[in-house]
Structure 1
Amino acid sequence: MTFWICRTCAVEHAEKVDVCAICADERQWVPADGQHWTTLGEMAAEGYRTEIVELEPDLFGLTSTPKAGIGQQCKLLRTPAGILLWDAIGYVDDEAVRAVRELGEVVAIAASHPHMFGVQVEWSRRLGGVPVLVAEPDAQWIARRDPVIRLWSGTEEVLPGVTLSQPGGHFPGSTIAHWAAGADGRGVLLSSDTVFANPDRRSVSFMRSFPNRIPLSPAVVERVARHVEQYDFDRLYGNFETRIDADARAVVRRSADRHIAWARGDFDHLT
């Protein structure tokens, strides 16, 4: 079956539409020279390949070179019961599937939000029909529908000790994954763009649109922060290579308080 991949966000589409709806939304962007499409065959001919690196015991990062679309780092979280493939990248080939299978059996694929759908259905098919979990509030953004997709809402223990939940914010269904056994038992949060790990490695951000610089309101930031505070975690991973190595739960609270204070006008005298 032929399907199309948006060059800008690398999300798979069943049809080549005039403009990718995900990129036309205010949280993303369409290039100045318009919409561009590609296929896995074209990408393979252009020399795309994948690389897997170990981030910590039982957590791996998967990327493509060149970067497909937004260029996220997919996370592969391994447990004795199987692997969660988180934020699938927008490229897959036989070599990538072999490398993933060498780590174990993927039992679920999930994305933090629609920008990170990648070619999730294609990953599922090549891995034997693995369930693709999509947050029900964001179902409208699915551009390639397939029986492997399962909608969910609220909280879901996708693997023993690995919990998905939806604090919302960036998207109504924006999702985090909590891994209780990560960071030597201190807990890990895979937060993607929901709680974005900043380049300074000491703070996080809460945004509706990152490329177009639209912040979330103080009330929503407080809601998101309170949601993630229900979990114990010492380390936080974003959807690229940025991370908060230690004391991440406290970093989220400090960053939320800072965001709220600036939006409230507490620091207007500095401007």
Structure 2
Amino acid sequence: MRPGERSPRVGVDDELPVCATCGVQREAGDRPAVCPICADDRQWVPADGQRWTSMGELAAGGHRVEVRTDAGLTGIGTTPGFAIGQRALLVPGPEGNLLWDCVPLVDDEAAAAVDALGGVAAIAMSHPHFYSAVASWSRAFGGVPVFVHRADEQWLGRTGGVERWDGTTREILPGRTLINTGVHFAGGTVLHADATVSEIPGGALCSGDIVQVVNDTRWVSFMYSYPNLIPEHPDTVVRTVRMLEPFAFEAVYGAWWGKVVPTDGKAAVRRSARRYLSHLGLPWPDEV
């Protein structure tokens, strides 16, 4: 390739619109006056108005994809930081790697780095704020399936590769199970990786910001809206603890670099939920 030229593997999507606030990519020509994800009360539209960019503009401006280890798993992020700034995770195991969540940019260097780690067999999403350039990531790895809970399908900017799923749990690759808790969004989902596939002994919960690892990484929290500080309903928080009870996990991986509860993760979720209800002046249910 000539200097500055990008290969057909990822370059074909370079000019598609990307919301500069949430980082979600849309189809060609689909540039609404306001990004529907940002117009929702869980997100926000900047005071100076909606702005659209593209993967091509991001790359031309010096953005690139960073692939590096984060507490034992491979993290994938965008540098310099852009939009919400989350990093995705590559979760290995039988029948291939699972890409958990996504980022707004994919380039040839990142695709090659992920190829060297075994590529991507499937992609799974926690919630709409992290849909990012997921259709481009799917296409870059041969059109692998993208698992999105049906309750959140209305928020999709692109549908390439998307496989909608229903219910509360689904094992999509051996040892890797999606759990729909309903925190943050109706389809808000976490990923459980059991001890046979996780790089962390004892299993791991990859939580995005459905179960949010906070600055004091001994704890997590739960919110309906993070930027607008709207708390999650306490019944949903209790339901989440109940749903996670059958699953063993030692670590909890949040959505940003370094936001990891390294040990005692399941107990951290439980005690954090109890603290959450306590600060709302509510008792913890005896049966949980």
Distance 1:92 1:183, change over 3 A: closer
Aligned to 2:10: none
Q: Does 1:211 align with 2:227?
A: yes
The match for 1:31 is: 46
CA contact (8 A) 1:60 1:75 kept: yes
Q: TM-score, normalised by structure 2?
A: 0.88
Residue in structure 2 matching 1:175, options 189, 211, 229: 189
Give the TM-score normalised by the residue count of structure 1. 0.94
Residue identity matched to 1:228: L
In structure 1, how many angstroms separate the alpha carbons of the residues matched to 2:96 and 2:250? 23
Q: Amino acid of the residue matched to residue 72 of structure 1?
A: Q
What's the Cα RMSD here? 1.4
Structure 1 gaps, min length 5: 267-271
In structure 1, the residue matched to 2:247 is: 231
Code of the aligned partner of 1:22: I
Quickly say closer, same or farther: Cα 1:99–1:183, change in 2 above 3 A.
closer
d(CA) in 2 for partners of 1:121 and 1:74?
14
Q: How does 1:143-222 map to 2 (within 5 A)?
A: 143-146=157-160, 148-154=161-167, 155-181=169-195, 182=198, 184-222=200-238
In 1, the alpha carbon distance for the partners of 2:71 and 2:76 equals 13
1:10 lines up with 2:23 in the alignment: yes
Secondary structure of residue in 1 paired with 2:105: coil
Comparing 171-180 with 78-87, which one deviates more in the overlay?
Answer: 78-87
2:274 maps to 257
Match of 1:130 among 137, 141, 144: 144
Tell me if 1:244 matches 2:249.
Answer: no
Cα gap change, 1:247/1:183 in structure 2, threshold over 3 Å: closer, same or farther? farther
- Name stretches of at least 5 consecutive residues in structure 2 with no aligned partner: 1-12, 284-288
Q: 1:34 is matched by which residue type in structure 2? A: G
Q: How far, CA to CA, are the matches of 1:254 and 1:145 in structure 2?
A: 38
Deviations for 1:136-180, whole angstroms, at most 9, x for unmatched residues? 00000012223x111002222111111111011110011111010
**1:81 to partner: Cα distance:** 1.6
% identical aligned pairs: 45
Contact 1:109 1:130 in 2 (8 A): yes
3-state SS of paired residue (1:173): coil
